[in-house]
Amino acid sequence: MGASQFLARLRQESGILLRRLWNGKLWHYGLRWQSEAATPLWIRRLTCHRSRILPSHDAAKAVSPLRSVTAVHITRPLSIESEMCLVDIVRANFAPHTAKVSLVNNPALEAFVAQVGDEFVLAQLLIRRINAGFELRNVADRDTNNLKEVNDLKQMRELAQFTARGDFRPLKSAPNLAREWRMQARDAEELGLALNYLYPGAVADWFAVRSGRAAATNYRGFTARQTGMYRITAMLPDELAANATRACCDLKFCLKQRLWAVPRLPTDDEKDKSAIPCLEPCAIMLEFARKVMRMEQEEKTTLSLSGSERETLIAALQRAREDSRSSSLPVREADFAHELNPRRVELLLNRLKSGMVKDG
């Protein structure tokens, strides 16, 4: 679809007139992700002003080019010599599960579909190519028959929101995706919409990494930009920051491949995690780091343990970590105030194993 056709459709559907497009072309149209929620966006207004200032993509604020507003829609600077163009965007006037949102080609989705081949595993999702469409199911149900049919994308959103037991999933990349379902995506675009519900932003970040357009951040740079109650996260010493990251991003809790750096801890290998890259600390990691620093500021208690007692304590903590996740009243994943929160228990285990907590 050319720029003129796009403008005609845009005027018809939204009643909004664009004053000008850079060089008469629209380079990209797509989705913006914020807080793991896919939001389709229209360009509402584009105005140009005489200026020598050229707008540029700020990698510090949007580390994946395909997830920033300007780069999703326009891949080149919005400028003609000394003119600066500003883009005003609004939410689309339709829901992503009831209408197609992409008006031009989506290079990220096209590259991902080419990668699928006959089948592809993305975190816990098994994608199989079936004729012109795709079948989606939990990879644990690879050889299972009599699965529940998921008939529309609205059901996929509900599937992504809750575990099989009905617990809310604040982190969509957690390894607790419900089982015993299957969905038929009719085409690549429907596949893309389904993936945006199950693993928001995964395809865009995957493509950005493989095309060399992603810039992973690091713990120090990321926390140095925090304000308010999260400023404290910058105070974590290197060793504790590494242990907090190891605990929070462990395979038991998150399937994303961590590419952002933290002192004294290597990044994740795709063989150990999944093909979904993690380019910066998420909200859960940030909140966990804040809690870890608060605990570090508490008054310390001296406890002398023999080697055997230390082994017993480690075994008890491992048991407590598993029990807290499997009990009838599990500890909420992001409830870091709870003393049996699995990530808090994992942190203490890491500190015991690394020698940060000394034997008597």
Question: Strand pairing partners for 184?
Answer: 135
Query: What are the phi and psi torsion angles at 241 (to 5°)?
Result: -60, -40
Type of residue at 311: E
Q: How confident is the model at residue 50 (pLDDT cuts 50, 70, 90)?
A: very low
Residues 6 or more apart whose CB falls under 8 angstroms from that of 133 comprise 184, 185, 186, 187, 190, 191
Domains of the chain are 3-91 (no CATH), 107-210 (3.30.1360.190), 219-354 (no CATH)
Q: Running DSSP on this structure, what letter comes out for residue 266? A: P
Q: What is the predicted pLDDT for the residue at 358? A: 52
Q: How confident is the model at residue 92 (pLDDT cuts 50, 70, 90)?
A: very low
Residues 6 or more apart whose CB falls under 8 angstroms from that of 307 comprise 359
pTM: 0.70
* Arithmetic mean of pLDDT, 10-21: 40
Q: Are 156 and 198 in contact (CB under 8 A)?
A: yes
Query: What are the phi and psi torsion angles at 35 (to 5°)?
Result: 55, 45
Residues 6 or more apart whose CB falls under 8 angstroms from that of 204 comprise 30, 31, 33, 64, 66, 67, 108
3-state secondary structure of 261: strand
Type of residue at 277: P
Q: What is the predicted pLDDT for the residue at 173? A: 95
Q: Is the pLDDT of residue 261 over 90?
A: yes
Residue 324, token pair as written in the block: 């807290």
| E strand or H helix at 354 | helix 342-354
Q: What is the predicted pLDDT for the residue at 83? A: 33
H, E, C per residue of 32-59: EEECCEEEEEEEEEEEEEECCCCCCCCC
Residue 210, token pair as written in the block: 């493989």
CA gap 198, 205 in Å, rounded: 14
CA gap 151, 340 in Å, rounded: 38
CB atoms within 10 A of CB 349: 21
Which of these ranges, 81-95, 167-181, 294-308, 322-336, has the smallest mean pLDDT? 81-95
Q: What is the pLDDT of residues 164-204, one digit of tens each?
A: 888 899 999 999 999 999 999 999 989 999 999 999 999 99
**């807290």: which residue's tokens?**
324
As a whole number of Å, the CA-based R_g of the chain is: 23
**């580390």: which residue's tokens?**
63
Nearest in space to 249 (alpha carbons), one of 209, 293, 207, 280: 280
CA gap 358, 302 in Å, rounded: 10
Type of residue at 278: C
Share of the chain above pLDDT 90, in %: 46
